[in-house]
A and B are shown apart, each in its own frame.
Chain A
Amino acid sequence: ETGVTQSPTHLIKTRGQQVTLRCSSQSGHNTVSWYQQALGQGPQFIFQYYREEENGRGNFPPRFSGLQFPNYSSELNVNALELDDSALYLCASSLGVAETQYFGPGTRLLVL
């Protein structure tokens, strides 16, 4: 157990809808990173938040957006869902931007 929690665990949406995924970081961690993992692939970096500011972004379109709150929990929002957005979404928290990342159990999103 890493102390990182994510909700919901599973989610089914239809194409064009919007989704919000949530992540609570481990106590004392001020950095949250989000990853998308398609079936049979390794995780791909979406973006990172450090002290409520975006601190790096991967190759994902603007319809993927995020937020970090003063308590360092975080949200990932995806607008205009596409079938290819079906994946496991992982968040990871860390003590700082270059520190070891501790992953939550993930949210499995299915887009129909």
Chain B
Amino acid sequence: SQQGEEDPQALSIQEGENATMNCSYKTSINNLQWYRQNSGRGLVHLILIRSNEREKHSGRLRVTLDTSKKSSSLLITASRAADTASYFCATDKGGSEKLVFGKGTKLTVNP
């Protein structure tokens, strides 16, 4: 089952622009995580935000979490061509199902 749903499915921007990706989920969570995946290879953990947090920053990344709306957003500022990848949100409900991923947003940053 897929809990998270990323939006948009695909995003194409120019280098230097900001990229915003959204994630909606269905049930209560312990935390929400964002991952990046290049060309169908392994996932790279970007950031984890706990259910009692509203915003978190890591370098050019900013993640927000709104538990009342069951949604999260990932903002990448001043994008670079190297940011081209698929981005997934994953929710941790704390049960036996562990991380539940969405289908991802495919980001293309054009030089």
Contacts and interface: CB of A to CB of B under 8 A. Distances in A.
Interface residues of B, number: 27
Interface stretch (B37-45, B53-61, B74-82): B37-45
A88 B39 CA distance: 11
A101 B1 contact: no
Contact of B96 (A42, A56, A88, A106): A56
Contacts of A44: 2, 101
A103 B45 CA distance: 8
Interface residues of A, number: 30
Interface of B: 1-2, 4, 30, 33, 35, 40-45, 48, 88, 90, 92, 94-104
Interface of A: 2, 4, 33, 35, 37, 39-45, 48, 55-59, 88, 90, 92, 98, 100-106, 108
17 contacts: A4-B42, A39-B40, A40-B103, A42-B2, A42-B88, A43-B101, A45-B98, A45-B99, A58-B98, A59-B1, A90-B43, A98-B30, A98-B94, A102-B45, A103-B35, A103-B45, A106-B42
